[in-house]
Amino acid sequence: MPLLLHSMIGWVLVVMSLGLIGFWVPPEDQVLGNSYLIFFWHFPSAINCMNLFVISGVFSAIYLFGGRKPSMDMWAAAAVEVGMLACTITLVTGGIWARCAWAEWSVWMFNDPRLISVYIMWFTYAAYLAFRSNLEDPRKRAVFSSAFGIVATINVPVVYFAIRIFGSQHHPMELTLVDDSLIVTRWFGALAFLVLYLALVRIRRRVAEQRVDVERLQGAFGRAGI
């Protein structure tokens, strides 16, 4: 699928999910009031950030154990970059929703296993990007980043199962949605954001490819003594 068309479909689906939230789902919840509407963009980013980090781990493993093709490393890095965006959106929307639901900005809550594991995940992948940008030799960068990416992926199931494993102070393991419109809107949003994020991953991958082109040309200049 052409990249431009893919991106446009992603944006249209996200706008459609906004339409469902605005015009289809009930405007208020009995306990949380209208703050529960934040859930419909919090959940898609949360689930897709984990998806993207797992995708990154898979590409890292393919790179490391499957012939070391540079394109696999580029896909892994692109997935991490977009995953970081999704994780940030999750933290931002979650933090605002927490203020409404728990009377605290979740940014400052350090007693909940789910939140702590997400913070750890965010900082781990921030370190991945910082680490990656500081290695100059492209081959070393790819190998070390892939190893880092595989290790970092271990935290993803920990985030998902944190509540089952450690219990929870605040964050519920699951939400029971009482209406079909809520269920449809939730999963439609997840699909919409997945399409958009995958388009962004493709764009980031193209940027990575361009960067390698620049590096190759600069290397050629160096070898030619220009």
Partner 1 sequence: MDSNRWATNSAPRSPLHPLVWLLVLAAALVAAPFSPSQDSGPVAAGDGVSGDAAANGVPTERAEPARPSDDAREAKTFRLGAPPGSEGSSPPDFQAYVFWAYGLTCVLIFGFTTWTILQARQLDRRVHYLRERFERAHPEER
Binders in 42-71 for partner 1, by CB under 8 A: 42, 45, 67-68, 70
Nearer to partner 1, 12 or 175 (CB): 175
d(CA 206, CA 196): 16
Other beta carbons less than 10 A from residue 98's beta carbon:
23
The single residue among 58, 96, 184, 191 that binds partner 1, judged by CB under 8 A, is 96
d(CA 209, CA 143): 17
Closest to 12 measured CA to CA, from 202, 219, 156, 188:
188
d(CA 53, CA 80): 6
Under rule CB under 8 A, residue 28 binds partner 1 = yes
Under rule CB under 8 A, residue 95 binds partner 1 = yes
Q: In the range 126-185, which residues lie near partner 1 by CB under 8 A? A: 126, 129-130, 132-134, 136-139, 142, 163-164, 168, 170, 172-179, 182
* Span from 32-40, 46-54, 58-66, 145-153 in contact with partner 1 (CB under 8 A): 32-40
Nearer to partner 1, 9 or 107 (CB): 107
Under rule CB under 8 A, residue 111 binds partner 1 = no
**Angle between helix 39-65 and helix 70-102 axes, rounded to 10 deg:** 150
Q: Are 57 and 152 contacting, i.e. CB atoms less than 8 angstroms apart?
A: yes
Closest to 76 measured CA to CA, from 52, 54, 60:
60
Nearer to partner 1, 142 or 156 (CB): 142
Q: Are 167 and 113 contacting, i.e. CB atoms less than 8 angstroms apart?
A: yes
Under rule CB under 8 A, residue 196 binds partner 1 = yes
The single residue among 92, 120, 147, 191 that binds partner 1, judged by CB under 8 A, is 92
Under rule CB under 8 A, residue 41 binds partner 1 = yes
* Span from 52-60, 146-154, 206-214 in contact with partner 1 (CB under 8 A): 206-214
> 29 by DSSP, 3-state: which?
strand
DSSP-assigned beta bridge partners for residue 29: 33
The single residue among 9, 99, 166, 184 that binds partner 1, judged by CB under 8 A, is 99
Other beta carbons less than 10 A from residue 78's beta carbon:
24
Please work out the total of residues on this chain that contact partner 1, with binding judged by CB under 8 A.
Answer: 87
85: number of CA atoms within 13 Å, CB side? 14
Nearer to partner 1, 62 or 200 (CB): 200
Rounded least distance, CB 57 to partner 1, Å: 19
Rounded least distance, CB 151 to partner 1, Å: 18
